[in-house]
Amino acid sequence: MLRLTGTLAVVVLAQGFGLSSAFAETPPLFAGTGPAESSYADPLPATVAVSTYAPPACAAKPCPLLIAIHGMGRNARGARDAWKAAADRGGFLVLAPRFDKEQFSSRRFQQGNARGEPDKAKWTFGLIERLFDVARASGRVAGGSYTIFGHSAGAQFVHRMVMLMPDARIATAAVANAGYYTLPVLAGERAYPYSLKGTPAVDATLAAALSKPMLVMLGDRDTDPDHPQLNKSRGAEEQGPTRFARGEHFMAAARDEARRLGVTLRWREVVVPGVAHQQSGMAEAAGAELFGVR
């Protein structure tokens, strides 16, 4: 089977899907230092704009990779830029894909296209793994795993990816201020995306997911029950009136399931003081937790 890497992957896949030459001519990931824009053509099929940042410390050596997943505003550059200062201090690369509305509805973005889709090859979560392969082909990425951070809608995407793809090469995940959650339970009244009911998840995959390091980060001021972007569906409201309450409910369910399965829960709740629904504040706190940069 032909495996495509680096610039070749972007060029051949772009041509194969009949995309304009502008996509084929974007620079390879991490071609230099500083901020950059590129694109990636995935076999889903989908073509994703990619914003990257390489700090000066990574000019002459491979560095760890952080993948940042944007929120409902679909602003990949903003997701990347929220991490630039931490990347400068901590010496890691930042990659932020953009899941635009035209190609990625909420079902395909936040829910990973896993709802009612038994074919895992069609899940959006797999795009992250393939994009990681292209990033590694640049020769700039150290190690065989990556850290992933998502804020708001991005946090929805990331925690669902952890639960449904526990074999993904994620070293540590951090989810911040999710609007609502897929509870880590296999049965109940509510099916996916409110629980794992109706997905291929079983006890063994749930146990593996609960054993993967994940930070569940909650701004202690993200407590507005009338926030304009807060999901108000019945299933979400059953998890609590605010994002903060829903995060605590999610962690309580995780602790219960870890006890039932007899596994050590490696998910950790992190309350961030003084921060509401703000990506920059949550990224700063995550930088301290994940990379020790302050």
Residue 47's DSSP bridge partners are 41
3-state secondary structure of 102: coil
Closest C-alpha to 128, from 104, 36, 195: 104
Q: At CB < 8 A and 24+ separation, what contacts does 229-235 make?
A: 229/72, 229/152, 229/179, 229/277, 230/179, 231/179, 231/180, 233/180, 235/180, 235/190, 235/193, 235/194
Distance of CA 293 to the CA centre of its chain: 20
What's the pLDDT score for residue 158?
A: 98
What's the pLDDT score for residue 7?
A: 39
> What is the rounded CA–CA span in Å between residue 108 and residue 114?
8
Asked if residue 122 lies in contact with residue 86, where contact means CB atoms within 8 angstroms, the answer is no
What's the pLDDT score for residue 27?
A: 80
> What is the rounded CA–CA span in Å between residue 149 and residue 159?
10
Establish how many alpha carbons lie within 13 A of residue 212's alpha carbon, considering only the half-sphere containing its beta carbon: 29
What's the pLDDT score for residue 163?
A: 98
What's the pLDDT score for residue 25?
A: 54
What's the pLDDT score for residue 294?
A: 82
Residue 256's DSSP bridge partners are none
Kind of pairing between the strands at 146-151 and 93-97: unpaired
Distance of CA 237 to the CA centre of its chain: 23
Per-residue confidence of the chain (294 residues) as pLDDT tens digits?
A: 223 334 334 433 333 333 333 334 578 899 999 999 999 999 999 999 999 999 999 999 999 999 999 999 999 999 999 999 999 999 999 999 999 999 999 999 999 999 999 999 999 999 999 999 999 999 999 999 999 999 999 999 999 999 999 999 999 999 999 999 999 999 989 999 999 999 999 999 999 999 999 999 999 999 999 999 999 999 999 999 999 999 999 999 999 999 999 999 999 999 999 999 999 999 999 999 999 998
What's the pLDDT score for residue 4?
A: 35
DSSP-based helix, strand, coil % in the chain, nearest 5: 35, 20, 45
What's the pLDDT score for residue 22?
A: 35
Q: Fill in the amino acid letter for 181.
A: Y
Domains and CATH numbers, the chain: 6-291 (3.40.50.1820)
Tokens matching residue 63: 């560095």
Contacts of 116 (CB under 8 A, 6+ apart): 198
Asked if residue 174 lies in contact with residue 149, where contact means CB atoms within 8 angstroms, the answer is yes
Angle, helices 6-16 vs 125-137, to 10°: value is: 130
What's the pLDDT score for residue 23?
A: 39
